[in-house]
């Protein structure tokens, strides 16, 4: 391999600077040179970003100080996602990040809870929120990091963050450039290739001229200037299963005096809206389908709902789907250029992060790249397809018929991969991950199935063996321990004030 090996990243924002930061951390600067091209003339939409726990692993890889990072990004903590009005208007459930109860005799806890619910009746069964530490802490507006005593439930708290996405990109830019990444404020004119749609030799830039590279990373967002335009990689459009393809974003006020430690996802008559609590404001977004409403009507209804009639709105459009190949020739797409699933389950940065980690594990360099590219593409496709099915299920499992949009979602045909999951769960409450590459586990699937009203005919046979009195006592013990644990926690607001309050 010639030295230094030239890696060129096209595009900044969260995807570009996460990629640059991670590569600058793990690569030998004597052997690799990283250049990132972004144009200040191209605006970046700054909205609140909601994440899932994997982001902590990414920040830990970078050895970022968590308190400093949260101060710099006006960030807060997140214990889960609340879903309101999804199965029926007035319903509420949560997708918490931590487990329910404890696994018994090798059988996931949800089988025991479903048995309890069947025997007691849903109205008299113990609230599911009492059996999940993160859910209980979230609705009581409490938070702490995991404590040192791992015998306590508080030693295993699972959490993620809310933060300002633009500030996060700026924070990582400082991190990456301090480690040798070269940042060019420029715009690409064209990609130089000896053969049309063949390997990329260089980028022609408006101000800096020709920028040669050995490997190129496309972080140009939905425009996909390299993977889509230069390399002509096709895109799988999944809007027939995921019709929400548009959003309006506005700044909002906090829900109350406290900063909530969870994201709110509130279904409305033609889609849903997000509420992402940052330290200085709550990010508000109105998600809808352009097939069923137009942007002017969506913005008007959104403003009427939240009472914001003054701030300038950001309008966003996307196509739910993925590239046929996220790595072709000497170019890999990371972030929106590789594919996108609407923000319902906060998977945007997770897809960016997992793409980066795959790229590091299959690091391009000297020699043939085809097998590495094939593996990258296979794992990328598997991951985003599984996320698609999980998000799609929220729409399919609804009783709502108050609009053409919800009737379409309820009645739409779904892919076999999702139908098989539904059939298996309905038969005996089983949830299987298709691969180790799958993001959402049985906690996530059970949370969504239970919250959306799907009830299985049976549970695992081993869960039936425990005497009813023993099961009841076991649930009561968990309920008591979790209640006592949460009672001693500070409020989320207090924890932020003490550890990571932004200036």
Catalytic: 78? yes
- What token pair was written down for 158? 């699972």
The CA–CA distances, whole Å, from 109 to 158, 446, 460, 475 equal 17, 10, 10, 10
Question: Strand pairing partners for 163?
Answer: 49
DSSP letter assigned to residue 178: T
Question: Residue 236: which of 150, 299, 323, 167 has the closest Cα?
Answer: 323
| Residue 15 marked as a ligand binder | yes
Residue 4: cis peptide before it, omega within 30 degrees of 0:
yes
| Residue 76 marked as a ligand binder | no
- What token pair was written down for 34? 């990283």
Number of neighbours of residue 419 by Cβ within 10 angstroms: 13
| Residue 12 marked as a ligand binder | yes
Question: Residue 78: which of 503, 498, 497, 495 has the closest Cα?
Answer: 495
**Helical ranges in 93-177 per DSSP H:** 109-120, 133-139, 165-177
| Residue 230 marked as a ligand binder | no
| Residue 226 marked as a ligand binder | no
| Residue 336 marked as a ligand binder | yes
**Helical ranges in 108-164 per DSSP H:** 109-120, 133-139
Kindly name the residue from 78, 158, 173, 396 that is annotated as catalytic. 78
> What distance in Å separates the CA atoms of residue 87 and residue 344, rounded to the nearest whole number?
15
Q: How open is the CA angle 84-88-90, to the nearest 5 degrees?
A: 50
Question: β-strands 321-323, 339-340: how paired?
Answer: antiparallel
Tell me, letter by letter, the H, E, C secondary structure of 315-352.
Answer: EEECCCEEECCCEECCEEECHHHCEECCHHHCCHHHHH
Q: Is 424 helix (H, G, I), strand (E, B) or coil?
A: helix
> What distance in Å separates the CA atoms of residue 39 and residue 303, rounded to the nearest whole number?
32
- What token pair was written down for 166? 């633009």
- Contacts made by residues 98-104, CB under 8 angstroms, sequence distance 24+: 98/132, 98/133, 98/134, 98/156, 98/157, 98/158, 98/443, 99/132, 99/443, 100/128, 100/131, 100/132, 100/443, 100/446, 101/131, 101/132, 101/474, 101/475, 101/478, 102/478, 104/463, 104/466, 104/474
- What token pair was written down for 310? 């003054």
**What's the start-to-end Cα distance of the chain, in Å?**
47
Number of neighbours of residue 198 by Cβ within 10 angstroms: 13
CB under 8 Å to 92, separation ≥6 — which residues?
A: 82, 83, 84
The annotation places the binding site for 7-chloro-L-tryptophan at: 78
Please list the active-site residues.
78
The annotation places the binding site for FAD at: 12-15, 336
The annotation places the binding site at: 12-15, 78, 336, 345
């Amino acid at each position: 391999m010639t030295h230094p090996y030239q890696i060129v990243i096209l595009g900044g924002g969260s995807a570009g600077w996460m990629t640059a930061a991670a590569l600058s951390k793990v690569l030998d600067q004597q052997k690799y040179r990283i250049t990132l091209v972004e144009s200040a003339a191209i605006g970046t939409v700054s909205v609140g970003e909601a994440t899932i726990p994997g982001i902590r692993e990414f920040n830990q890889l970078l050895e970022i100080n968590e308190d400093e990072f949260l101060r710099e990004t006006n960030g807060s903590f997140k214990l889960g996602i609340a879903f309101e009005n999804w199965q029926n208007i007035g319903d509420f459930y949560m997708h918490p990040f931590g487990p329910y109860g404890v696994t018994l005799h090798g059988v996931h806890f949800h089988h025991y809870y479903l048995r309890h619910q069947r025997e007691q009746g849903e109205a008299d069964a113990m609230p599911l929120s009492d059996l999940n530490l993160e859910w209980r802490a979230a609705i009581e507006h409490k938070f702490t990091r995991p404590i040192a005593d791992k015998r306590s439930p508080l030693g295993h708290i699972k959490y993620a963050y809310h933060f300002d996405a633009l500030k996060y990109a700026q924070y990582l830019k400082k991190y990456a450039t301090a480690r040798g990444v070269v940042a060019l404020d420029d715009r690409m004119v064209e990609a130089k290739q000896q053969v049309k749609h063949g390997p990329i030799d260089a980028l022609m830039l408006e101000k800096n001229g020709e920028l040669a590279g050995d490997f190129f990373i496309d972080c140009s967002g939905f425009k996909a200037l390299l993977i889509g335009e230069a390399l002509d990689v096709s895109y799988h459009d999944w809007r027939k299963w995921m019709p929400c393809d548009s959003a309006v974003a506005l700044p909002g006020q906090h829900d109350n005096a406290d900063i909530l430690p969870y994201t709110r996802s509130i279904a409305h008559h033609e889609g849903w809206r997000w509420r992402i609590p940052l330290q200085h404001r709550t990010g508000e977004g109105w998600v809808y389908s352009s097939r069923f409403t137009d942007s002017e009507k969506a913005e008007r209804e959104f403003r009427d709902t939240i009472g914001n009639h003054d701030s300038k709105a950001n309008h966003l459009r996307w196509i739910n789907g993925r590239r046929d190949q996220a790595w072709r020739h000497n170019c890999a797409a990371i972030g929106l250029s590789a594919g996108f699933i609407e923000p319902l389950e906060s998977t945007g940065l997770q897809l960016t992060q997992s793409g980066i980690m795959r790229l590091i594990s299959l690091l391009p360099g000297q020699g043939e790249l085809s097998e590495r590219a094939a593996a990258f593409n296979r794992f990328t496709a598997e991951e985003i397809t599984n996320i698609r099915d999980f998000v799609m299920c929220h729409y399919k499992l609804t009783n709502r018929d108050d609009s053409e949009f919800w009737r379409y979602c309820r009645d739409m045909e779904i892919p076999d991969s999702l139908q098989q999951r539904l059939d298996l769960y309905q038969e005996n409450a089983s949830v299987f991950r298709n691969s180790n590459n799958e993001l959402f586990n049985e906690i996530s699937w059970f949370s969504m199935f239970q919250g959306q009203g799907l009830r299985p005919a049976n549970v695992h046979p081993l869960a039936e063996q425990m005497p009813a009195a023993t099961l009841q006592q076991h649930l009561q013990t968990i309920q008591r321990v979790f209640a006592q644990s949460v009672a001693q926690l500070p409020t989320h607001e207090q924890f932020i004030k003490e550890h990571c309050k932004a200036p």
